[in-house]
Structure 1
Amino acid sequence: MKSFFIIVSFFVLSSCDNLNVKKTSSEAILNEELQTFNWDDVDVYPSFSVCDNLSSKTEQQACFQNTLVSRITDYLTKEDLVVTQDINDTILLSFRVDRLGKLTVLQVDLDSITEREIPNIKRLINQSLDTLPKVYPAIKRGQQVITEFNLPIIINVR
């Protein structure tokens, strides 16, 4: 019995090394989390209320972009644009949606002919954004975040 007690004591004392707890600082945990964090993706894309019932992220993104493009296109269609030559151009619109859902145009890339024929095109695009319904910002890990998008808009005036 005495030998059994000695053997058990030996195993208990030798296993104490396995019980050492390694302390990790909060800074090390934060650095590890930042390494695995995908900065280019959001959990929920910016949206309009008409896009709320969609379940997948790709459907939400497509709904947001399609709604935005159709609103801009509808606004430009209602304008009485007079041109001296036919215009068939794709405008690349870069914009930002901030944490409050405010949509801001960052840049409008268009052909020089389009800009010459429709000199107020940038103003018209900005005005079309003023008529948008409420924009809900993107969400990343439960926080509202700033997002930037590029959208092509086809301009066809004859």
Structure 2
Amino acid sequence: MRQICVFLLVILLTSCEYFNVKKTSSEAILNEELKAFNWNDVDEYPTFAACDSLSTKQEKQQCFTNTLTGHIFKYLQNEVLVVTRDINDTINLKLQVSETGTVTILETKVDDLIIKEIPNIKDLLTESLDSLPKVFPAIKRGQQVITEFRLPIIISVN
């Protein structure tokens, strides 16, 4: 009986190691998450209501850029632009969509010829964003986030 009690005591003392819980600090968990986090991609791109019916991420992104480009192009077509030379060039816009869905132009790369022929082109581009339909911001891990992207606009005036 004594041998059984000693045996059980040894097993009890050595098995306590299996019940120890290893604690991980919240900072260690946060650092591990930040390493695995892809900062350059979002779960859902910014979108318009017209693009909600699409299923894939790429289709929604394409719909968003096409809708935005089409809106800017339509706005510029409604403006009366008088030029002395034919223009066929591309304007590169760097846009930002805030977490509230506000679209702003961060940077505009315009050729000198376009600026010479249409001096107020930057103002027209900014004004075109004022009449955009409601934009739903990008989503990353369930949170609305700020996104930036580049959008080429082809200007062709005869």
2: CA distance between counterparts of 1:91 and 1:98?
A: 22
Structure 2 residue 90 is the aligned partner of structure 1 residue 126: no
> Which letter does structure 2 place at the counterpart of 1:28?
A
1:80 to partner: Cα distance? 1.7
Instruction: Compare 103-112 and 15-24 and name the one that shifted more.
Output: 15-24
Q: Which one-letter code corresponds to 2:130 in the other structure?
A: D
| Residue in 2 that maps onto 1:155 | 155
| Cα separation, 2, equivalents of 1:98 and 1:112 | 30
CA distance in structure 1 between the aligned counterparts of 2:8 and 2:50, rounded to whole angstroms: 69
Residues matched between the structures, number: 158
Matched, 1:106 2:88: no
Deviation (angstroms), 1:16: 2.1
Instruction: Work out the percentage of aligned pairs sharing the same amino acid.
Output: 59
Cα distance in 1 between the residues matched to 2:85 and 2:5: 101
* Matched residue SS, 2:150: strand
CA RMSD of the aligned region, Å?
1.6
Q: Which secondary structure does the structure 2 equivalent of 1:104 belong to?
A: strand
Gaps of 5+ in 1: none
Match in the other structure for 1:96: 96
Q: TM-score, structure 2 length as denominator?
A: 0.92
Amino acid corresponding to residue 65 of structure 2 in structure 1: Q
For residues 1-158 of structure 1, the aligned pairs below 5 Å read 7=7, 9-158=9-158
- Cα distance change of structure 1 residues 55 and 8 upon mapping to structure 2, 3 Å threshold: farther
Deviation at 1:49?
A: 0.4
Inter-partner Cα distance in structure 1 for 2:5 and 2:84 = 103
CA distance in 1, matches of 2:115, 2:14: 81
The 2-side partners of 1:104 and 1:144 are apart by: 16
Separation in 1, partners of 2:107, 2:76: 18
Query: Using the alignment, how far apart are the partners of 2:81 and 2:154 within structure 1?
Result: 15
1:8: Cα distance to partner? 5.3
Distance 1:25 1:80, change over 3 A: same
CA-CA distance at 1:35 after TM superposition? 1.2
SS of 2:80's partner is: coil
- Residue type at the aligned position of 2:62: A
The whole-number CA distance in structure 1 between the counterparts of 2:60 and 2:8 is 62
Deviation of 1:115 (Å): 0.8
How many Å apart are 1:4 and its aligned residue?
6.1
Amino acid at match of 1:52: D
Task: Measure, in 2, the Cα distance between the counterparts of 1:37 and 1:51.
Answer: 27
